[in-house]
């Protein structure tokens, strides 16, 4: 019996090329899909930082000063209108803690929900272990959240440095400068303080993105998962404001030291974690490294929770 081996090999090669072509097109579509979401989040972070309060004029935001005030007018406002002061206050708005979860998790959560609630999930999980699947999605969401937020903040810094006068133009001595007293008397210390703020905000964005993915499975809805994190941030700001006001009247205004128990309570308000780059060591008497250990344990807990939900679905 005659067998056309050449023809069979040709068909197999054509089939393989067809599969590889489909995989390549799917990968290209995924890259385009991810790229516009990532860019949208970066632009959103830039706009969010631009809405921070402009300390040189209390009735304006940074974007308004960038568009309306000349460089000479900014110089007359003093060092609070310097580029460094504006950059250091990029979190100085109530809505930053509210909208940060959305901008950090939008891309990864929508991609994950598109797979989890469709038939593509079974095709993906069949080729991986549960641990690898859980770790892969959480690492991807963490990296995407960190990169989008950190890049957006850095782009905002670039725009600010192009418009606002630099710190050295004001000719102030370190002893007479509020910036030097708050952030360091040397350029290196001030740069490190600013870089640490960006790194810290990016880490929080990574944790929020991971948590949003896990909550998508728990809540069975991506929109509810992200909106719940935003609502937690909003109510945290309001509750912390009332709590801080009560504590200030009882202790701070009387010149007394605030007991540690109240400081520990304030730790559980998520909105306070945005500012732990500078005041964590001063408030709790331990190094910032301990806070990084806390974030690491929190990320491990989120992974374990997510892994168990993935495993439960396949049992």
Is the pLDDT at 21 greater than 50? The verdict is no
Is residue 208 assigned to a domain? yes
Is residue 2 assigned to a domain? no
Is residue 167 assigned to a domain? yes
Give 283-295 pLDDT, tens digit per residue.
777 788 889 999 9
Is residue 140 assigned to a domain? yes
Domain that holds residue 17: 8-313
Give 91-112 pLDDT, tens digit per residue.
878 889 999 999 999 999 999 9
Q: Within 13 Å of residue 177, how many CA atoms lie on the same side as its CB?
A: 22
Question: How far apart are alpha carbons 268 and 240 in whole angstroms?
Answer: 10
For residues 215 and 229, is the Cβ–Cβ distance under 8 A? yes
Is residue 98 assigned to a domain? yes
Ranges 58-67, 202-211, 255-264: which has the least confidence: 58-67
Ranges 157-161, 213-217, 310-314: which has the least confidence: 310-314
Give 112-141 pLDDT, tens digit per residue.
998 898 878 888 888 888 899 999 999 999
| Nearest partner of 314 among 224, 221, 226, 217, judged by Cα | 217
**Confidence at 8, pLDDT banded by 50, 70, 90:** very low
- 160's enclosing H/E stretch is helix 130-163
**Confidence at 142, pLDDT banded by 50, 70, 90:** very high
Task: Give the count of domains, the chain.
Answer: 1
Is residue 3 assigned to a domain? no
Whole-number pLDDT of residue 32: 43
In the numeric block, the tokens 């929020």 are attached to 208
Question: How far apart are alpha carbons 96 and 89 in whole angstroms?
Answer: 11
Is residue 274 assigned to a domain? yes
Is residue 53 assigned to a domain? yes
Give 33-44 pLDDT, tens digit per residue.
457 889 999 999
**Confidence at 47, pLDDT banded by 50, 70, 90:** very high
Question: How far apart are alpha carbons 120 and 109 in whole angstroms?
Answer: 15
> In this predicted model, which residue has the larger pLDDT, 36 or 210?
210
For residues 97 and 271, is the Cβ–Cβ distance under 8 A? yes
Give 61-98 pLDDT, tens digit per residue.
788 888 888 888 888 887 878 888 888 888 878 889 99
Please state the pTM of the whole predicted model.
0.84
Average confidence (pLDDT) over 208-214:
96
* Winning range, highest mean pLDDT, from 188-197, 226-235, 253-262: 226-235
| Nearest partner of 197 among 142, 271, 274, judged by Cα | 274
């Amino acid at each position: 019996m005659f067998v056309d081996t050449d023809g069979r090999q040709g068909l197999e090669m054509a089939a393989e090329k067809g599969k590889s072509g489909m995989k390549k097109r799917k990968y290209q579509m995924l890259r385009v899909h991810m790229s516009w979401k990532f860019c949208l989040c970066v632009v959103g972070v830039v706009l969010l930082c631009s809405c921070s309060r402009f300390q040189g004029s209390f009735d304006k935001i940074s974007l308004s000063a960038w568009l309306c005030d000349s460089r000479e007018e900014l110089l007359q406002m003093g060092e609070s209108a310097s580029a460094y002061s504006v950059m250091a206050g990029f979190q100085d708005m109530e809505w930053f803690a509210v909208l940060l979860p959305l901008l950090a998790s939008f891309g990864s959560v929508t991609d994950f929900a598109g797979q989890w609630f469709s038939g593509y999930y079974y095709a993906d999980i069949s080729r991986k272990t549960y641990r690898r699947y859980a770790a892969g999605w959480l690492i991807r969401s963490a990296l995407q959240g960190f990169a989008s937020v950190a890049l957006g903040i850095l782009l905002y810094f670039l725009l600010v440095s192009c418009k606002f006068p630099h710190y050295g133009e004001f000719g102030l001595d370190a002893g007479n400068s509020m910036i030097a007293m708050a952030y360091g008397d040397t350029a290196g210390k001030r740069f490190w303080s600013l870089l640490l703020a960006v790194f810290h905000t990016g880490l929080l964005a990574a944790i929020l993105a991971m948590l949003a993915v896990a909550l998508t499975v728990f809540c069975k809805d991506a929109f509810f998962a992200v909106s719940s994190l935003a609502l937690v941030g909003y109510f945290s700001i309001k509750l912390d404001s009332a709590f801080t006001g009560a504590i200030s009247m009882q202790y701070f205004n009387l010149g007394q030291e605030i007991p540690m128990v109240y400081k520990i309570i304030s730790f559980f308000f998520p909105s306070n974690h945005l500012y732990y780059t500078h005041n964590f060591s001063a408030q709790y008497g331990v190094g910032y490294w301990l806070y990084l250990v806390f974030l690491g344990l929190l990320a491990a807990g989120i992974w374990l929770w997510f892994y168990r939900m993935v495993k439960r679905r396949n049992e």
